[in-house]
Amino acid sequence: MKYIIVSDIHGSGWAAAQITEIMKAEKPDFLLLLGDILYHGPRNPLPGGHDPLKVAAVLNIYKNNIIAVRGNCDAEVDQLLLDFPCMADYAVLADGQYSFFLTHGHLFPGLKPPFSLKPGSVFLSGHTHIKMLKEDKDLIYCNPGSTSLPKGCDSIPSYAQYQNGLLSLRRLDNSAILSELQL
C-alpha cells in the first residue's frame, strides 16, 4: 500500500493544488488527512491562496480514497462541504504487519495514544506544524508538518509518504526527500 499523509492544509488553495500534483504523480492507495482541513483558526494568519471551497472541491475528487480525522480547527459545518467523513478524533489503519494510529494531535499531548499500540506501530499526528520522523522505544512517530503554515527551523511546506515499509518526509513541491525511516 502507498499512502500520502497530509496535515494542516488550513484552507490553502495553493496547498490543495500541490496535493493534486502529488496525487497525480504518486497514485497512492489512500490520502491520509490529519486534520485542520478548511479553516485557518483564530491564531493563524491566512495561508497562501486561502480558498476553502477550492480545497473542498479538490479533496472531494479523492473522496473514495481518503481517511481523515478531525483537527482542532475543524467543525461540523466543514463536513457539509466534504464528501468524506472527517469528524473522528482518531482512526486506526492496519497495513499488513504495520498499524497506523491517525490523529490531529491536539487531544493527545505528548504523543500519547489513548490505548496501547502494538510495537512497531506508527503514530501519525499533525497540529504543531513542525515535521518530525523518529523512532522512540517501540513506536514510530511522524508529523508530516503543515502544507500551508509550516513552523520550525526550516519552515518548508511538507507531507509524508509511506510505501512498502518506508516512511519519508518530503517537501510539498516534491523536489526532495527530507528524511526517511525504514519500519
Map out the domains of the chain as residue ranges. 2-182
CA separation (Å) from 47 to 26, 59, 150, 157, 167?
25, 17, 10, 11, 27
- Separation CA 23–CA 41 (nearest Å): 26
Predicted pLDDT at 138: 87
CA separation (Å) from 91 to 13, 39, 66, 79, 137?
26, 21, 12, 17, 22
Q: What is the pLDDT of residues 10-19, one digit of tens each?
A: 999 999 999 9
Predicted pLDDT at 48: 74
Q: Give the three-state DSSP class for 9.
A: coil
* 103 has a pLDDT exceeding 90: yes
- Separation CA 81–CA 113 (nearest Å): 29
Residues 151-156 have a mean pLDDT of 86
* 38 has a pLDDT exceeding 90: yes
In the DSSP assignment, the letter for residue 12 is: B
* 157 has a pLDDT exceeding 90: yes
pTM for the structure as a whole: 0.95
Q: Are strands 30-33 and 98-103 parallel, antiparallel or unpaired?
A: unpaired
Band (pLDDT 50/70/90 cuts) for residue 115 is confident
Predicted pLDDT at 59: 98
Q: What is the pLDDT of residues 47-92, one digit of tens each?
A: 778 999 999 999 999 999 999 999 999 999 999 999 999 999 999 9
- Separation CA 120–CA 54 (nearest Å): 37
For 106-115, the CB contacts below 8 A with 24+ separation are: 106/71, 106/72, 111/141, 114/90
Residue 125's nearest CA partner among 156, 148, 95, 102 is 102
Residues 99-121 have a mean pLDDT of 86
Most confident of 43-47, 137-141, 143-147, 152-156: 143-147
Predicted pLDDT at 113: 77
Residue with cell 489512500: 30
Looking at domain 2-182, its CATH architecture is 4-Layer Sandwich (3.60)
* 108 has a pLDDT exceeding 90: no
From edge to edge, which strands make up the β-sheet containing 177-182? 66-68, 30-33, 2-6, 158-163, 166-171, 177-182
Mean pLDDT, rounded, of the chain = 93
- Separation CA 17–CA 44 (nearest Å): 21
